[in-house]
Amino acid sequence: MKQNITIALLSFIFLLTSCASIVSKSSYPISINSSPSESKITITNKKGVEIYRGSTPATLKLDAGNGYFSKAHYQVKFEKEGYATRNVPVNFKLDGWYIGNLVFGGFIGFLIVDPASGAMFKLDTEFLNETLEPVTANTSNEEVKLYNLEEIPEDWKKHLVQVSK
C-alpha cells in the first residue's frame, strides 16, 4: 500500500513538472557595453514602456515572457553626444527544453507552467557590445550661388570690390 502511494505521488509530481521551468529560467542576465563607454542606454519593452535607464557598461535581468505564450522583445537605445543614436533589438527564442515536456509527459508544464512563466523562451544573446559612429555635423546651411554682374541687385553693387582688370 505504501509503495502504491509513493508511486502515485511520484507520478503526480512527474506529470506536473515542466522541463523548461526546471532546467531553464524565466529571466536572463544580459551584459550591455558600448564603444565609447558610458553611453546612455534606455531599454523599452515591446509595448514601448521604459524598463531601464542607465549607462554602459551595464548588467541586468530581462524577463523572457510577455504574457501567456508570448515571448518578450526589447529595444536598447544607445545615445552619446557627438555620436549617432543606435537602436538594437533584444530577442528571445523558443527554449529546446520546452519540447522536453512532450517527451517526459509534462503536459501541465507544456500547456500552463512554461507558457505562463516565460520559461519556454530563452535569450537569443547574452551580450550586446555596440560601436557608436561619430556624427559629422554640417553646421553650414549656406549655399554658394554664382551670379552674372547683370543679375546682382542694385543694393549689393555698392559692396562689390574689383579684384582685377
- What CATH number corresponds to the domain at position 22? 2.60.40
Domain assignment of residue 99, given as a range: 2-135
4-32 tens-digit pLDDT:
666 655 555 544 444 444 455 567 788 99
- CA 119/CA 109 separation, integer angstroms: 10
Domain count, the chain: 1
C-alpha cell at 62: 530581462
Mean pLDDT of 103-117: 56
70-102 tens-digit pLDDT:
677 889 999 999 999 999 998 877 665 556 655
What are the beta bridge partners of residue 83?
A: 134
Residues 6+ apart with CB under 8 A from 63: 26, 27, 72, 118
Q: Is residue 7 part of a domain?
A: yes
Q: Is residue 90 part of a domain?
A: yes
Q: Is residue 10 part of a domain?
A: yes
Q: Is residue 107 part of a domain?
A: yes
C-alpha cell at 141: 546651411
Q: Is residue 154 part of a domain?
A: no
pTM over 0.85: no
41-55 tens-digit pLDDT:
999 998 889 999 999
